[in-house]
Amino acid sequence: MKMKEANDTMKQADSTHNKNLERFKQQSKMTSNDMDKLGKKELEVLKSFNSFTDVFEKIQKKPQFKTYDKEGVKIPEYNAEELKQVSIGAGILLGGIGGAAAGTAGGFAAAGATTAAVMAIGTASTGTAIASLSGIAATNATLAALGGGAIAAGGGGIALGTTILGAATLGVGLLVGGIIFNVTGSSLSNKADEAWSQVLKAEGQINSICAYMKELSTISNRFYVAISRVNRVYREHLDQLRSIVEVSNKTDWNEFTAEEKLITENTALLVNLLFNMGKVQLVLVSNDETVPNSVNTEVVNKTISDSKKFLKERRLANVFE
């Protein structure tokens, strides 16, 4: 009877453990996909800055657009060199995203896509200039330089989950096959109870990790919507600016109409807003490997709110669409 009860306990533990493992895997995959989508979008936006600088730098005698600071929203002043560097770096990273492992693009979003793009033209730990690499080698070198790995879906969370699952299955493995007949009933019961205890402990920790990854998915999707909204308005303005400069051949600021000057100023502000949004880290990395990372919710929410305030104040879009 003790053997049967122990065996039933083990079967239940094994079933519960497998369900937890599947839940963990599904949430991990979902979060990784959401973060990858955001990371790729951010890099595409940053890469597009070269189109803006090419047009903007053709305008002669234009004023220096200063830092925007209204209602707590701050947007840094235009810096052509920074934008060009970020554009080049983003292009390097995008070149290797397609063949890179799942979670790579999300890793850049987690650390801040602008930071990743700047890092891409830096130097890898081997002393090799990352910009001299190509494709997957460049993206992997940049991710490594950022201290990433599985950072896209939470870094420490993934590592911790793997450790928990490995430890939990250890107890289950004690009671399989013919071993069941080589121990006494009481020993068997003790081992079954120990294994069940391990599974319950693992379940609690997996619940915590899954909650973290779910929160990360939610915030990454909200940030994706916010960046896409600003980028859509920016693209419309860039097309108008390109038409003014390259189609109408207006390159003297003094010949611009009031409306054309406003379009130019707004385009420069939108570029800098996107540049600033790309700096935001979605993940705050834990210094303790046994503790999951945390989601940078407060900063992300403020950035989203600031972008809405800016678009509303400049009357550039319906922020509630």
Closest listed residue to residue 220, CA positions, set 25, 34, 15, 6: 34
In a domain, 197, yes or no: yes
In a domain, 321, yes or no: no
Specify the range with the lowest mean pLDDT, choosing from 105-114, 147-156, 264-273.
147-156
Cα separation, 114 vs 169, whole angstroms: 41
In a domain, 33, yes or no: yes
Range of the domain at 245: 2-313
The tokens describing 4, both together, are: 């049967």
Q: Which residue has the higher pLDDT, 312 or 285?
A: 312
Cα separation, 208 vs 173, whole angstroms: 25
Q: Which residue has the higher pLDDT, 158 or 39?
A: 39
| Secondary structure (3-state) at 31 | helix
pLDDT tens-digit series, residues 248-276? 999 999 999 999 999 999 999 999 999 99
Q: Which residue has the higher pLDDT, 90 or 292?
A: 90
Number of Cβ within a 10 Å radius of residue 15: 11
Q: What is the DSSP string of 226-245?
A: HHHHHHHHHHHHHHHHHIII
pLDDT tens-digit series, residues 59-79? 998 888 778 888 788 887 778
Handedness of CA 107, 205, 299, 301 (dihedral sign): positive
Determine whether 47 is exposed, middle or buried from the number of CB atoms within 10 Å of its CB (0-12, 13-18, 19+).
buried
pLDDT of 321 strictly over 60 = no
pLDDT of 7 strictly over 60 = yes
pLDDT of 158 strictly over 50 = no
Q: Which residue has the higher pLDDT, 22 or 154?
A: 22
Q: Are 67 and 310 in contact (CB under 8 A)?
A: no
Q: What is the DSSP string of 35-99?
A: HHHHHHHHHHHHHTHHHHHHHHTT-BS------EEETTEEEPPP-HHHHHHHHHHHHHHHHHHTT
Cα separation, 222 vs 28, whole angstroms: 18
pLDDT tens-digit series, residues 171-194? 444 444 444 444 555 676 777 777
Q: Are 154 and 283 in contact (CB under 8 A)?
A: yes
In a domain, 320, yes or no: no
The number of folded domains in the chain is 1
pLDDT of 289 strictly over 90 = no
In a domain, 318, yes or no: no
Q: What is the pLDDT of residue 124?
A: 54
pLDDT of 164 strictly over 80 = no
In a domain, 244, yes or no: yes
Q: What is the DSSP string of 154-202?
A: TTHHHHHHHHHHHHHHHHHTTS-GGGGGSS-HHHHHHHHHHHHHHHHHH
Cα separation, 96 vs 290, whole angstroms: 31
Helix (H) or strand (E) holding 295: strand 294-295
The tokens describing 130, both together, are: 């990352």
In a domain, 319, yes or no: no
Q: What is the pLDDT of residue 292?
A: 67
Q: For the stretch 272-302, what's the b/e string if a residue is b when 16 or more beta carbons lie within 10 angstroms of its beta carbon? A: bbbbbbbebbbbebbeeeeebbbbbeeebee
Q: State the virtual CA torsion across 200, 201, 204, 209 in degrees, nearest 10.
A: -130
Specify the range with the lowest mean pLDDT, choosing from 211-220, 243-252, 283-292.
283-292
Q: Which residues lie closer than 8 Å to 291 by C-beta, 6 or more apart?
A: 156, 160
Q: Does the reported pTM lie above 0.85?
A: no
pLDDT tens-digit series, residues 111-139? 888 888 887 776 555 556 666 666 677 77
Q: What is the pLDDT of residue 155?
A: 42
Q: What is the pLDDT of residue 256?
A: 92
pLDDT tens-digit series, residues 200-232? 888 887 888 888 889 989 999 999 999 999 999
In a domain, 253, yes or no: yes
